[in-house]
Amino acid sequence: MGLEPRAARGLGIVTCMDSRIEPLDMLGLKPGDAKIIRNAGARVTEDVLRTLVLATHLLGVERVMVVAHTNCKMASATRDQVIEIIEAESAIDVRSLDFRLVADQRESLAVDVQKIRSWPFLPPGIVVGGFVYDVSNGRLLHVT
């Protein structure tokens, strides 16, 4: 086992599935530098929390970045719109699903970061930050 670069050690990234985001490139990292958890909207769900328990206790993650992004579909469409689009295109009724859409991106990000900070199954001392990645210019803004 070699020494890992300090900047890359123990980093977990929670981000959106949007294909405009290359999480490692976004941070100037390379494969192996970070554990990456993705879903629609970079939301901190039960499954993300479960994964973070494993990432922190078993894989050495000590810092977690939650990275939302500009022009995220999950933050611009309403629940009714998503349901209508899917039903119009497939005739499948998805009303029973919680898509965790975002009405206020900054507020949702703050709540999601707090969810991780207060999750009792994580080791003490985990550092968590919330960021917004601007897909138009590649800038990463630290929000919370």
Contact between 102 and Zn ion per CB under 5 A? no
The answer on whether 18 is annotated among ligand-binding residues is yes
Among 12, 13, 15, 18, binds Zn ion (CB under 5 A): 18
Query: Which C-beta is closer to Zn ion: that of 58 or that of 103?
Result: 103
Contact between 16 and Zn ion per CB under 5 A? yes
Q: Is 7 left (phi over 0), alpha (psi -120 to 50) or beta?
A: alpha
- The minimum distance between CB 39 and Zn ion, in angstroms, equals 9
What's the full length of the chain, in residues? 144
Residue numbering of the annotated binding site? 16, 18, 69, 72
